[in-house]
Chains A and B, each alone.
Chain A
Amino acid sequence: MTRGPSLTFWIGAVLSLSFVAAALLSFLWTPYDVEALEIANRLKTPSVAHPFGTDHFGRDILSMIMVGARTSIAVALVAVGIGMGLGVPLGLWAAARKGGLVDEVIMRGNDLVFAFPSLVIAILITAVFGASALNAIIAIGIFNIPVFARLTRGAALSLWQREFILAARVAGKGAARISAEHILPNILNLLIVQGTIQFSLGILAEAGLSYVGLGAQPPLPSWGRMLADAQTMVSFAPHLALIPGLAIVLMVLGLNLMGDGLRDWLDPRIRVARA
């Protein structure tokens, strides 16, 4: 009996992939130039010419959402990449040296990062080094490292107890090789699921930083800053706040649904039951 991913997964995948597609399309084509100001056309409600309306400078909101998706996705993707790229090897290393000095240093370092409220530190980093998309990436990325390190260590520790790892040790394989060959492939699905969740959190964090003006800088459009700009005009042009807000909600929802669906699909216990 084989079973594909659930409906939840497909809804999530369609939602998030449509944003990714919009972001990719924006490299080639957008309905209007996002930097072109058309004061005459400002604060238009949605129409055929401007499906999502225009903002207070007369820029097309659909185009801004498309380019903003690009910023959000790029920031979140690189941040998750940093988290995985550093966190997973650290977690594997800590698990292989369980109870040793390396384990202690890595895990106490993680605790240290965890101990700080992440968004406050992100604000600190961008405040000290200047507000830019790059600094936002670094700030969000740093807080992804302990998430992946902990998850990896926990999952790897239970695998180290398994007899096939013992068999590999009897075959003379070292810790690094066992981690790469036996541990990592067996925890990969866990990491992918966590990756999609962290990705959605990264998008939220980027929106938050841009909202307070510490993310991507103008004229680069960003969902968070669109929200911030819209808040003074929310009483007479609610679509200005509604549309970027909905974009954030749908993207995050899509990724979470996808992560949930992936977890159900890839869960090894369910896979064993199916086998």
Chain B
Amino acid sequence: MSLLSIRNLSLSIHGAPILSAVSLDVGAGEIVAITGESGSGKSMTALATMGLLPRGAQTNGTVTLDGTDLTQLSERKLCGLRGREVGMVFQEPMTALNPVQTIGRQVAETILIHRAMTPAKVEERAREMLDRVGLPADRFPLDRYPHELSGGQRQRVVIAMAIALRPKLLIADEPTTALDVTTQAQILALLKSLTADFGMGLLMITHDLAVVSDMADRIAVMQKGRIVEQGPTRQLFARMEHPYTRALFEASDHRVAMPPAPADARPLLQVKGVVRDYPLPKTQLFAPRQHHRAVDNVSLTLNTGDRVGLVGESGCGKSTLTRAILGLEEVQAGQITLDGEPVFTGHRPNLDTRRRIQVVFQDPFGSFNPRHRVGRLITEPFHLLDAPPKGTAREAAIAEALNAVGLTPNDAQRYIHEFSGGQRQRIAIARALIIRPELIVFDEAVSALDVRVRAQILDLIARISAEHGLAYLFISHDLSVVRRVTDRVFVMQAGRIVEDGPTERVFSAPEHPYTRSLIAAAPTLPDLTHLKEATP
């Protein structure tokens, strides 16, 4: 019998159906992945397993862990179970730790709550666990605080907390989504080795097929609260019986049909020797103020119609560079010009160049004022024009922009909360397009989207760039996305550009060791043709 056995689990919250007839097994030492798009119910399945459902939740079916039906247990008994029998790792390592407690104390807390050991032994166990997750005593003593650690190190602490009592089952909900690719690879390897060493069952929830393809023993694909297909990883990829699985796989590996780049290019954006320092908070009253150099002597050129990528991990300075290019912040040294005009003149942003650069941000939920209608939201850049269109001309501009991104003119009357994430990102692109810029900066513009929606938005970006003769700078931490929609790519590390060149050349024959490590760490989907032959 398997360790965790979910049978016909149905769930509704305030009458709205969330899960229907979910059945899933996780054996000891087995890695099972649940994958699907947002809203498919994958996280709810995990929460139902932990008995952590929100108020008003009604469940049917059974969740059996090691012979005990969890759905029948009282809250008190469930508390005794959580942490001891079932551990959980969350997505966001930045908020999963208490900032005012040391890491040793937080790892020890799980043990103390369950009174599993004498206090003297607890510290020993906490140390042992931190060592096990790769935080050795000499560099990470127990009295370190979370803010002294990087995101990946914090996630290691969270994992140490989850496994402190050697639970039989570990649930990891998007454990690497918030991490950089190189860190992601390390955390995945850690989870894998822990599963093998402790003989735990690992239930992993992720939206990223590539992450689980070379790690999970079995995969369950969820759509709209149902498991549409599940099976051993290789078999599932080889057969792909359900059309939704196929659609997900194809979208993950979506090839954008890139229109040919325009021929008569002239230099458009020129960044020369840009330096951007941030003052750090003073540690001592009379000590000289320290500075952090976020962008260090960066130079790059974009021609008209260029489709350029900028990749790098978090903290490499790509966001700072974006702000400098948009003229939102002044730089300490160097110059940024658009068609020879500086973007920042006399300590003020140059509005003449600003109207020729627009931007699309990452967060489809945070980048719109919730109180305005779409028509007003997308015409905001009209503020940059000396004579913004009025009346019917304005209506026509709105309709044209909405049509260009695949929405209808009627959508102008609606509020932003009526749209899905993908639609909002279309609206963000419409807002960037409406004053007909020459350059659009896509700042992680597809990172928050589901794979199928992402594929559509990438197609849209390729199409409108050709139709409008647009150049774009596509900034992302996701190498596979950058590879699909750019002709040229810059790789940034610690404020410097370490490599640049034609996208295909950089990806197939990277020169800089950092580029090589990035590409090696990026999870890849299995090659289907090979798999199909290998599976009987």
Smallest Cβ-Cβ distance to B361: which chain A residue: A163
Contacts of B382 in A (CB 8 A): 171
Smallest Cβ-Cβ distance to B368: which chain A residue: A164
Contacts of B326 in A (CB 8 A): 170
Contacts of B426 in A (CB 8 A): none
A30 lies within 8 A of chain B by Cβ: no
A115 lies within 8 A of chain B by Cβ: no
Partner of B367, one of A164, A172, A173, A272: A164
Contacts of A166 in B (CB 8 A): 328, 359, 361, 367
A138 lies within 8 A of chain B by Cβ: no
B460 lies within 8 A of chain A by Cβ: no
Contacts of A169 in B (CB 8 A): 328
Interface residues of B in 86-140 (CB under 8 A from A): none
A253 lies within 8 A of chain B by Cβ: no
Interface residues of A in 175-228 (CB under 8 A from B): 182, 185-186
A167 lies within 8 A of chain B by Cβ: yes
Interface residues of B in 265-306 (CB under 8 A from A): none
Interface residues of B in 343-384 (CB under 8 A from A): 349, 351, 354-355, 358-359, 361-363, 366-371, 380-384
Docked CA distance A1–B16 (Å): 12
A275 lies within 8 A of chain B by Cβ: yes
Interface residues of B in 60-108 (CB under 8 A from A): none
Q: Are B383 and A182 in contact (CB under 8 A)?
A: no
Q: Are A171 and B366 in contact (CB under 8 A)?
A: no
Secondary structure of the A contact surface, majority rule: helix
A151 lies within 8 A of chain B by Cβ: no
Partner of B383, one of A162, A173, A186: A173
Do A168 and B380 form a contact, CB below 8 Å, given A182-B369, A186-B371, A275-B417? yes
Interface residues of B in 321-337 (CB under 8 A from A): 326, 328
Contacts of A168 in B (CB 8 A): 369, 380
Docked CA distance A186–B370 (Å): 8
Smallest Cβ-Cβ distance to B358: which chain A residue: A170
A-B contact count (CB 8 A): 54
B477 lies within 8 A of chain A by Cβ: no
B42 lies within 8 A of chain A by Cβ: no
Contacts of B428 in A (CB 8 A): 167
Q: Are B381 and A170 in contact (CB under 8 A)?
A: yes
**Min CB–CB distance B378 → chain A (angstroms):** 10
Partner of B363, one of A163, A170, A172, A186: A163
**Min CB–CB distance B439 → chain A (angstroms):** 12
Q: Are B354 and A172 in contact (CB under 8 A)?
A: yes
**Min CB–CB distance A188 → chain B (angstroms):** 9
Q: Are A162 and B380 in contact (CB under 8 A)?
A: no
Q: Are B359 and A167 in contact (CB under 8 A)?
A: yes
Do A164 and B369 form a contact, CB below 8 Å, given A169-B328, A171-B383, A172-B384? yes
Partner of A185, one of B355, B371, B417: B371
Smallest Cβ-Cβ distance to A271: which chain B residue: B370
B431 lies within 8 A of chain A by Cβ: yes
**Min CB–CB distance A223 → chain B (angstroms):** 39
Contacts of B351 in A (CB 8 A): 172
Contacts of B361 in A (CB 8 A): 163, 166-167
Contacts of B381 in A (CB 8 A): 170-172
**Min CB–CB distance A183 → chain B (angstroms):** 10
Q: Give B residues with C-beta under 8 Å from A.
A: 14, 326, 328, 349, 351, 354-355, 358-359, 361-363, 366-371, 380-384, 417, 428, 431
The 24 listed contacts between A and B (C-beta, < 8 Å) are A162-B367, A163-B361, A163-B362, A163-B363, A163-B366, A166-B328, A166-B359, A166-B361, A167-B368, A167-B428, A167-B431, A169-B328, A170-B359, A171-B380, A171-B382, A172-B351, A172-B355, A172-B381, A172-B383, A185-B371, A186-B370, A186-B371, A272-B417, A275-B417
3 nearest A-B pairs in the assembled complex, by CB-CB distance? A163-B367, A172-B384, A163-B361
